[in-house]
Amino acid sequence: MDTYISGKGHLSRAFGRLWRKKLAVISLTVITAIYVMGLLAPWVAPYGYNEQDYESIREAPTLEHIAGTDLKGRDVFSRVLWGVQNTVIITLVTILTGGLLIGVSLGLISGYYGGRVDSVIMRIGELFASFPDILLVILLAATLRPRIIDAVRWIEDNTWLDGIVKSGIADYFVISIALVSFSWVGMARLVRGQVLSLKSSQYVESAQATGASTSRILFIHLLPNAIGPIVVTVSMGMGTLIGTEIILSWLGLGIQPPRPSLGTMLLEAGSISALRVVPWMLIAPGIVAWSLVLCWNLFGDAMNDVLNPNTQ
């Protein structure tokens, strides 16, 4: 039987087992709920992220402000939703471009062609991997940010475009580049290893013998049979990306005020004085950040179990 057809059957059985794992389903439900609320923040949030209520400064949670207000009278719940939106956009852009588009493509090319092409791609990957991930991200974000902001301001001054810096697009761009710089390496290595073990299979040799194009062999015959490990890596890597994005914002290298981010909110509420006076400022962003990282890790573990070909 063709491996591809067997692979489809294995995926069907795997997802059937996934729905029987209560912890995985709960984790996926929590992730989906948080992501949807974050993406719908302009409509779901009861207040604007920078809207101030001077009569409710440092107010504990009430029916009007269910997560309380911060030191400037801004609704904490609304700011958390906008912070989640930033996290969703950045992590999805990073995983789609770095982990999938770049990582999978380079892994396919490296494993299939081998030789010099493989050596060049892997040596570049080893160069990026030689730096600690978080250190490389911090260096890139700190180095790129001033230059990108200057370039965006020049565009604003010399074109009809206005408000680009204020919109936060430049911040998204900086963080995405920094995260993409290391997120492709692990995926490329994984896919390369899968391709090396699959390209000598009979169905690949048959496709080559019938004159199938290289792109067809890569994306129709090889990629579908490597989809299981890719799904596991993406699901487990999302928690790491979210944590890294929060750390960047916490260090002042991520989304800049007045736009909120989970990292800056945790920083504002993380001091001893803030914990004594306004502890609720830490509760909402802390619970959301912790829930996202935990649920992605739990979901990744579940995907690893159900996509294991040795699992019956």
CB of 134 closer than 8 Å to CB of 182: no
Supply the pLDDT for residue 1: 41
Tell if the pTM clears 0.85, that is, is over it.
no
Answer yes or no: is 54 within a domain. Answer: yes
d(CA 268, CA 79): 13
**Which has the higher per-residue pLDDT, 171 or 68?**
68
Answer yes or no: is 312 within a domain. Answer: no
Across the chain, mean pLDDT equals 82
What digits encode the pLDDT tens for the residues 199-255?
Answer: 877 877 787 788 878 888 888 888 887 887 888 888 878 888 888 878 877 777 777
Answer yes or no: is 213 within a domain. Answer: yes
Supply the pLDDT for residue 3: 45
Q: What is the CATH number of the domain that holds 83?
A: 1.10.3720.10
Answer yes or no: is 237 within a domain. Answer: yes
> Predicted confidence band at 11 (pLDDT cuts at 50, 70, 90)?
low
Into how many domains does the chain fold?
Answer: 1
Question: How big is the chain, counted in residues?
Answer: 312
Answer yes or no: is 275 within a domain. Answer: yes
Answer yes or no: is 101 within a domain. Answer: yes
| Residue-number span of the structural domain to which 135 is assigned | 3-306
Answer yes or no: is 94 within a domain. Answer: yes
Answer yes or no: is 311 within a domain. Answer: no
Q: Is the pLDDT of residue 304 over 60?
A: yes
